Structure 1
Amino acid sequence: MRFRRPEWTQGNRLDLLENGEQYFPAVFSAIEGAQREILIETFILFEDKVGLALRDVLAAAARRGVEVHMTVDGFGSPTLSEAYVHSLTDAGVHLHVFDPPPKLSRRLKPFRRLHRKIVVIDGEVGFIGGINFSADHLLDFGPEAKQDYAVRIHGPIVAQLRRTSRKIIAPALQKRRWWPLRDHADAGFAVPNEAGTARTMVVTRDNHRHRDDIERMYRLALHAAQHEVIIANAYFFPGYRLLKSMQRAAQRGVSVHLILQGQPDIPWARWAAHMVYDLLMRSGVHIHEYCERPMHGKVALVDDVWATVGSSNLDPLSLSLNLEANLIIQDRAFNEALRAKLTPLMQDCCVKLELSQTAANRWWWRLGVGALVFHVMRHFPRWLARLPVRQQPILPAADTPVVVSAAKPVAAEAWQWQTALQRLRQEPVD
């Protein structure tokens, strides 16, 4: 597919979705109304009540003639049962696996993963954010339920999001021919009409032409900030340039707030983030640790003019290795909606750290140990990124080690989820 530079698109309407309670009903409703095409990318697909519900709506869509492509990551989604896969493929769903690892090293390929979360329906409505198709994005999952966000999109930007998603599966559509074929992705799909006032851009990160696009967007926004910055991010361990951008914004009087993990689902993530707390707080950055549940969001806003929602964390894996996708937004109404979600989170659900709590980190930095560990951890992914990049395969799920004898579907659990889904659809989305 021909290379396209990211570009601003006018006339879009955006709806902020919080957690699975708002995201899953919105996505499933759009799938049920699909007439021509469904594109889905997800890092994680589990065979739990969410995965079972997704299977049912996708299989029904495929049986009524909709072209359905779902791509999962071979590291993030390693255990799908043969029955689950066949229930999709027998209905006509094209289930792809991004870079499946060999069977004997299924858990040993954590680098350069497909970490994006994208859904596009009929080229008319799109979804992008940080929410996977798994039950741990629902509050009834318990204390480990994740706090996260996504956005529903109507308008011309959906065409750009569709091209982005089609590009991932283009190798799978070649049917192993040795000569390249053009993917007629736009054939018969008109650019959607203007639906709102938001100005947006789809920005991706890959290991070829867009290695630092998302990080560069963050830095540009921080340099332009005048009053306020709020960043909510799950895995926080940015590099020197992004740290300096945050410090400089705070030093010139911008109110910079970070909402980070206080109860992480990956323990080392909090330890890594703590290594840079002292540097930031001494520059005037305010750090809030979210302590109700694991923070999984990847959102930010700057003043009233800039926001982003997507899949990219601010850590070395997302910024240097993984395939990521974020929506960059210029829309005052959306910033107000996002601020209305994040401000109560800071005030009611977070612990605000004080500079005195970072004294231990300061001591380690003075000895040089902290600086050494920081630079090794920070630059290790960049060293990996300089290694030759091979074309990562997209394979049918049935031909990969992803298919194993995993958890069997539980009919009662699926019925309970369908009942809950119907109830959620009757409630308005804020």
Structure 2
Amino acid sequence: MQFDWLSLGSLIFAAHALGVIAAGHAILNTRTSQGAIAWAVSLVAVPYVTLIPYLFLGRSKFSGYVDKRRIESELLRTRAHPSAWDTSASSMGRPADALGHSVVRALTRLSGMPFLPGNHVRTLVNGEATFAAILDAIVHARHYVLIQFFIVRDDELGERLKALLLAKAAQGVRICFLYDSIGSFDLPQRYISALREGGVQMHPFATNRRFVNRFQLNFRNHRKIVVVDGERAFVGGHNVGVEYLGGNPRLSPWRDTHIELRGPVVASVQFVFIEDWHWATQSLPRLEPSQAEQPERVEDADMHCLVVAPGPADKDETGSLFFVEAINAAQTRIWITTPYLVPDEAVISALRLAVMRGVDVRILIPSRRDHYVVFEASKLYAYDLIRAGVRIFRYRPGFLHQKVVLIDDVAAAIGSANLDNRSFRLNFEIMVLTIDHAFASEVEAMLARDFGEAWEVERHEYRNASALRRIVMHVARLFSPIL
């Protein structure tokens, strides 16, 4: 049988033609110039390899989504803000004394929420402490529980959560459970059906409603939120899976941090959940008015807290700008822990300037990998930052997944955002910035222990790497706009 060279040539021509069209789309729609160049070059040069990934990952915005999401969010903000959210006075008081009036003004405008006083924040170090606190809060729920995770697994921890939610639903507690449709892609339908049949309102967060977005994998909801009766909230890096309790031998012991919040800031966290729930269901969760609208200060607690919830529908690139402003605010120290070190140029420039100001700039990253391409790209970014004077450390014992920022001895931010482009521009994230000397000291002690179990990356590690290893790192960095 004679090989049909004409058909093969036609297929090659069609692939390159589609690659050129897709490259034009990438240039017009990708949010960063680096991303546009990376996609355009790869789509024109090797469309056979990149066309399908571009279909799933290439779009950083798409028709109708951003506008619709933004309109819905603005309507909710005008209708659902508690009366205590007076941003006109947000630049006064302790936050301004600690960070400066201009920094506080920028952060409150960026987040759309004010610093709220009268809160108590407790660190929950690692999975056992985190889920013990979350499950205990749910046990004592009287009215409602709001739950949101990027990953939910049907394993031992997932079963414990499911059994508890079913028991509380049977007691008449209203439960709203939101999970990301991609992050929880392997969550079996029987798990979801059992909760729904037991009275739990459970929905996926998805952004592929329209046919044109059918294959869209960007715009994931990476937030981890639990709110109980409007009185207690939990935010941080943990998802629902036994690996977060150290159940994966390759990555164990898993190092992560969550926080428990009490006080008026709970209303801010709750509002972020309401926005996401409304997008997913086109309805509002039914909450007790007393808990939903009138947050109360915690007695003998005066921590000032600000919730920053960046997402791809924001008018500004909230995630990147938050890190830039936090770094710029530092006068003596900025310590950051992140599992993925793939910063954009704005964050890199802020880190360089901080070093020039004499700030102690340290970044703690994992020594074990869970994503190969991200890990290799992180090595090259680490080397570039080391040359600029940033101290980079790798955590030894297990996989490091916590997302923490410590600013001087006055402020700390903990949440779900990584130091990468996906958290900056493509994912929905949440961070809580707390102004309090005692809390900052607690976070400092926690991070000091982590740095004590890490080794510092030296310049020679890159120079001593083989030529092949360096090529792999540089190739991996080409994908940084979508990592």
Q: Give the AA of the match of 2:454.
A: C
Q: Deviations over 1:279-336 (max 9, x none)?
A: 2112211110112211111111011112111111111111110111111111111111
Task: Quote the residue 1:411 is aligned against.
Answer: none
User: Greater CA deviation, 231-240 or 271-280?
Assistant: 271-280
* 8 Å CA contact 2:341, 2:381 repeated in 1: no
The CA RMSD measured in Å over matched residues stands at 2.7
| 1:23 to partner: Cα distance | 0.3
* 8 Å CA contact 2:405, 2:412 repeated in 1: yes
| 1:148 maps to which of 256, 260, 282 | 256
TM alignment of 1:338-357, pairs within 5 A: 338-347=443-452, 349-357=453-461
* 8 Å CA contact 2:417, 2:430 repeated in 1: yes
| 1:253 to partner: Cα distance | 1.3
Query: Does the residue aligned with 2:461 lie in a helix, a strand or coil?
Result: helix
Give the % identical residues.
Answer: 28
TM alignment of 1:300-339, pairs within 5 A: 300-339=405-444
Q: Give the AA of the match of 2:202.
A: L
Task: Quote the residue 2:479 is aligned against.
Answer: 377
| 1:187 maps to which of 289, 299, 302 | 289
Task: Quote the residue 1:23 is aligned against.
Answer: 130
* 8 Å CA contact 1:73, 1:99 repeated in 2: yes
Q: TM-score, normalised by structure 2?
A: 0.71
Give ranges in structure 2 of 5+ residues lacking alignment: 1-75, 82-111
Query: Does the residue aligned with 2:185 lie in a helix, a strand or coil?
Result: coil
Task: Quote the residue 2:317 is aligned against.
Answer: 212
* 8 Å CA contact 2:146, 2:226 repeated in 1: yes
Tell me: CA distance 1:84–1:330, structure 2 relative to 1, closer, same or farther (3 Å).
same
| 1:131 to partner: Cα distance | 0.5
d(CA) in 1 for partners of 2:482 and 2:163? 42
Tell me: CA distance 1:265–1:373, structure 2 relative to 1, closer, same or farther (3 Å).
closer
Q: Give the AA of the match of 1:86.
A: S
Tell me: CA distance 1:287–1:93, structure 2 relative to 1, closer, same or farther (3 Å).
same
| 1:254 to partner: Cα distance | 1.1
* Structure number having the greater helix percentage: 2
Query: Does the residue aligned with 2:309 lie in a helix, a strand or coil?
Result: strand
Task: Quote the residue 1:117 is aligned against.
Answer: 224
In the alignment, does 2:259 pair up with 1:157? no
Query: Does the residue aligned with 1:83 lie in a helix, a strand or coil?
Result: helix
Q: TM-score, normalised by structure 1?
A: 0.79
Q: Deviations over 1:131-172 (max 9, x none)?
A: 001110113543423211110000110011111111111145
TM alignment of 1:216-227, pairs within 5 A: 216-227=321-332
* 8 Å CA contact 1:128, 1:152 repeated in 2: yes
* 8 Å CA contact 2:146, 2:175 repeated in 1: yes
User: Greater CA deviation, 187-196 or 57-66?
Assistant: 187-196
d(CA) in 1 for partners of 2:331 and 2:269? 30
| 1:17 to partner: Cα distance | 0.5
Task: Quote the residue 1:414 is aligned against.
Answer: none
* 8 Å CA contact 2:374, 2:476 repeated in 1: no
Q: Deviations over 1:318-360 (max 9, x none)?
A: 111011111111111111111111112112x212111222336
Aligned residues: 367
* 8 Å CA contact 2:169, 2:199 repeated in 1: yes
Tell me: CA distance 1:172–1:276, structure 2 relative to 1, closer, same or farther (3 Å).
closer
* 8 Å CA contact 1:166, 1:185 repeated in 2: no
In the alignment, does 2:235 pair up with 1:128? yes
| 1:264 to partner: Cα distance | 1.5
Task: Quote the residue 1:427 is aligned against.
Answer: none
Q: Give the AA of the match of 2:219.
A: R
Q: Which has the larger radius of gyration?
A: 2
Query: Does the residue aligned with 1:205 lie in a helix, a strand or coil?
Result: coil
Query: Higher relative contact order at CA 8 Å, sep ≥6: structure 1 or structure 2?
Result: 1
TM alignment of 1:378-417, pairs within 5 A: 378-379=480-481
* 8 Å CA contact 2:277, 2:285 repeated in 1: no
Q: Give the AA of the match of 1:266.
A: H
* 8 Å CA contact 2:376, 2:476 repeated in 1: no
Tell me: CA distance 1:369–1:23, structure 2 relative to 1, closer, same or farther (3 Å).
closer
Task: Quote the residue 2:190 is aligned against.
Answer: 83
| 2:201 maps to which of 84, 90, 94 | 94
